[in-house]
Chain A
Amino acid sequence: MHRQYETVIGLEVHVELATKTKIFCGCSTEFGGAPNTHTCPVCMGMPGALPVLNRQVVEYAMAVGLATNCAINQYCRFDRKNYFYPDNPQNYQISQLYLPICHDGGIEIETASGKKMIGIHEIHMEEDAGKLVHDEWEDCSLVDYNRSGVPLIEIVSEPDMRDASEVLAYLDKLRLIIRYLGASDCKLQEGSMRADVNLSVREVGAQKFGTRTEMKNLNSFKAIARAIEGERARQIELLEEGKEVIQETRRWDDNKEYSYPMRSKEDAHDYRYFPDPDLVPVVISDEWLQAVKERQPELRAQKLERYQKEFDIPDYDAQILTESKRMADIFEQTSALCKKPKKVSNWLMGEALRLLKEENREADTLTIVPAHLAKLIELTENGTINQTAAKEVFAEIFHHNTDPELYVKEHELTAISDEGALCEAVQGVLEANPQSVADYRGGKEKALGYLVGQTMKQMKGKADPGTVNRLLRELL
């Protein structure tokens, strides 16, 4: 290969919004109900049923648009996208083509060569389709309309990305922003975030874009990276062989690490878009827009900046803590209560992340009550409980929202600070373990550890190991 190629990538990202009800009816958006139980005449496309727009969908779309520096179309409209497929009960999808709610924005990502702006062409609102289930045994297809009408936004980027790492950085940033807004949980595996990759290659220095393909069925960040590498290689190979890239939609098979054509431009649909006459235009008043602006939460970049000024914690800690708004909120609220941000950070970055990982959970699912964590920190700081007991208490706070003070009392975890009582216990242990005493005196440091352990056992873990250690040394 003697020519140098550049990859040009743009993304279409679908995000399922976290509304309780569907975009055009009152049905639940909850995932995983029995087939066709979260349905009504509207989302089943029954004759005579009419859509009514869910206001919250507009608010979420506006919030995402504002957070990604988009302009908001204060007069926008829904259009019908006409095509026949059984997962689409009306045989048209209600979407936005002519006047999408947000346009001309962008977000900044970090790349190996510094900061880079990725443009956002537009964000539009639309409804999701149902799900087809193919029953091989009965040789038939069934339709589940539970997902039909679940609200989506589609975020269309400009073709500003040049490699997989930029794509992943863009997606990561986008996901973080949307999660901060509470607009979606953005899970690729569960399909609440889906990315289609538009990719073309061109010789370095070329002005015109090459012919692009669209890649679908990308269910993880890893699959996206592999698909980009695979498609880049496939297109370059075609060009090197003197062939042409065909504009088409391809489906990525992540197991085979290969993509297959789904449909080409020749048999592309004419969607016959036109404004949906069942819905009135969405008019966003200045007041409404202002109210949404005022409700926008502090986003991560602003948070990081503030943490630097407000909290005496390392940059690394701040980065990790702000990866989830939930965790950042717990951190801030707890720090406000106990005034020991570094201690709070230690608990969250240590035990909390460890337990989350153990249970394969995301930080957004944390339920720790800040007052409880603050109390726990106070109890350890003033020596009421020792570090071992503190971990036990933390697990309780983490799992069951238990009040640490009550738990400590009920389980008699209070550290025994009465040195007289401790001395007695140490004496007893020394007398009961002459061999270890002899070993220690003979120079075996390890024996001391055993004796400390025995003493702690005697004290039912409520002694401070440091104090026990000191007393043992003194008496030995």
Chain B
Amino acid sequence: MEIMELTALELGREIKKKEVSVREAAQAFLTRIAQTDKVLNSFVTVEEEQVLQRADEVQSALDGGASLGPLAGVPAAVKDNICTEGIKTTCSSRILYNFIPPYSAQAVLQMQKQGAVILGKTNMDEFAMGSTTETSAFGPTKNPWNTEHVPGGSSGGSCVAVAACEAPYALGSDTGGSIRQPSSFCGVTGLKPTYGTVSRYGLIAYGSSLDQIGPIAKDISDCAAILEMIASYDPKDSTSVKRADCDFTAALTDDVKGMRIGIPTDYFGEGLEEEVKQAVLQVAEVLRQKGAVVEEFPLSLVDYAIPAYYVIASAEASSNLARFDGVKYGYRASAYDGLHGMYKKSRSEGFGEEVKRRIMLGSFVLSSGYYDAYYLKALRTKALIRRAFDAAFEKYDVILAPASPGTAPKLGQSLGDPLKMYLGDIYTISANLAGLPGVSVPCRVDQNGLPIGVQMLGNCFMEKKIIRAAYAFEQARGRWQAPPQAQRKFEKETVSASADDMQRKEKEMRSASAKDVWKTEVKTVSASAGKAVD
């Protein structure tokens, strides 16, 4: 198997056994990025020299017998809203086009402590605002399953990097589904931990009370290992939580006997694509056959989640993004009149449409006279949603849900109608409002060859339960598979770097083999999956 096809843990083992050197591993992915990224545009910054230098450092540490983690020497991609010392961190925004942080995010430090090699920074929706990675100032990222489609967002670059085997794993951030939704669209596994599990220090804030960094990888085992590495109590983050149960890999057991799984009926109403619905029910059936108890239940307040989320996230964003003013760092307009002229021009030119829309929305809901009607009401709604989940988790260990109403839309389809785009977050945002952990696991592809992910939500601090459920499902589903177009690339000795070639190949592949991926893998699923739910 080629280096690129290995999971992060597998590559880590190869490196430990000295079957693969750290430099070889880094070089393989750098080459891969050079070949594919012209089309996919998943990376914003790749500093080759720094990567190889770091690879050699980690190699000599390993050779010197340093006790690093299971992912030592394994390259990784980092979303561009997570600060990396000495490496440009832009949030895919013009306003931070030249910002080089003098510090690294705590999550990055945790990774580096265990010997991670950071390949580069990945593209995203500007300041994580968006669900398609199209609001990036650096242009959209393309979905490797079909480059006419978006990868989802906002962690689109990170998810594509993993899906297209440009990186064994990546860090993303999730404020309203920004890890889980693109993971679903790209056919990779993405986990949003419980709020407070991974330090937010160095994560450039969008909605501070909702933001959480999490892993994106080929499978749940990698995600568990990565989370184990980045989870930490951090005194620099007041919202960080001291946890004694961060041995997430201990939950990687194929055992869901007696596990209580709830499926919210409210999630299966209007707007949900039939194929996605069937996929979720299919996963439920797999788990049921493995001994889990599956039940449908009504989860209230679902309709209130989106308005509450957009009020809270925008309010926090309007204040969080105030610091980008052209005074201290980042973009400053070249000609302006006076201080306020500088503020206005720098911000007007530096921020994109979607960011401006949310800053205005947030400023509005916080303004005097509207605060009680919007912001305070949204906070109360948030508390009620939390209570609804508390009640649900008294009965269930895991809630099973779609990650998104459909599969990846085509490029250019979403931004014209932002309200419709916001509605697409319906299944993911509640977890952020309630602080819950959630994971999106690829389960099959739809008739167009686009991946569908299923979402598993757990109660706060119950990552292990969703990891166990995901792992059990994976055992039935079979090994992760790269998009067909990427698979074809592995077969060739030398890979052409031509973008045209990529696109041509990809078109060939799409109709031919994509539909087969995973479809036959889930052998245990009965034909009438709908009936399986009690």
Contact = CB atoms under 8 A, between A and B. Distances in A.
A91 B101 contact: no
Given A41-B103, A272-B366, A274-B366, A84 B201 contact: no
23 contacts: A41-B101, A44-B328, A45-B328, A46-B101, A46-B103, A46-B329, A47-B83, A47-B91, A47-B204, A48-B103, A48-B200, A48-B201, A53-B238, A82-B319, A82-B322, A89-B327, A89-B328, A143-B328, A272-B367, A274-B371, A277-B209, A278-B208, A279-B238
Contacts of B339: 86
Interface string B291-319: 00000000000000000000000011011
Contact of B319 (A52, A86, A92, A279): A92
A92 B368 CA distance: 16
Interface string A386-430: 000000000000000000000000000000000000000000000
A89 B328 CA distance: 8
Interface of B is mostly: loop
B375 A48 contact: no
B97 interface: no
Q: Number of contact residues on B: which range applies?
A: 35 or more
Interface in B313-356: 315-316, 318-319, 322-325, 327-329, 339-340, 343
A51 B101 contact: no
Contacts of A84: 322, 325, 340, 343
Contacts of B99: 47
A50 B237 contact: yes
A90 interface: yes
B306 to A, nearest CB: 19
Interface in A44-73: 44-53
Contacts of B89: 47-48
A206 B329 CA distance: 54
A91 B328 CA distance: 11
Contacts of B238: 50-53, 278-280
B85 to A, nearest CB: 11
Q: Number of contact residues on A: which range applies?
A: 20 to 34
Nearest to B203: A48
Interface of A: 41, 44-53, 80, 82, 84, 86, 89-92, 143, 270, 272-274, 277-280
B239 interface: yes
A50 B236 contact: yes
Given A47-B99, A48-B105, A92-B322, A280 B239 contact: yes
A422 B450 CA distance: 115
Nearest to A145: B328
B416 interface: no
Contacts of B208: 277-278
Given A52-B238, A84-B343, A280-B239, A272 B201 contact: no
B316 A277 contact: yes
Contacts of A49: 103, 201-202
B375 to A, nearest CB: 6
A47 to B, nearest CB: 4
A396 to B, nearest CB: 47
B272 to A, nearest CB: 31
A437 to B, nearest CB: 84
Contacts of B328: 44-46, 89, 143
A164 to B, nearest CB: 34
A315 B37 CA distance: 86
Given A47-B96, A277-B208, A278-B238, 11 more contacts: A44-B328, A47-B99, A47-B204, A47-B205, A51-B238, A52-B238, A84-B343, A90-B323, A272-B368, A277-B316, A280-B239
A41 B237 CA distance: 13
Closest 4 pairs (CB-CB, A-B)? A91-B322, A272-B366, A277-B209, A277-B208
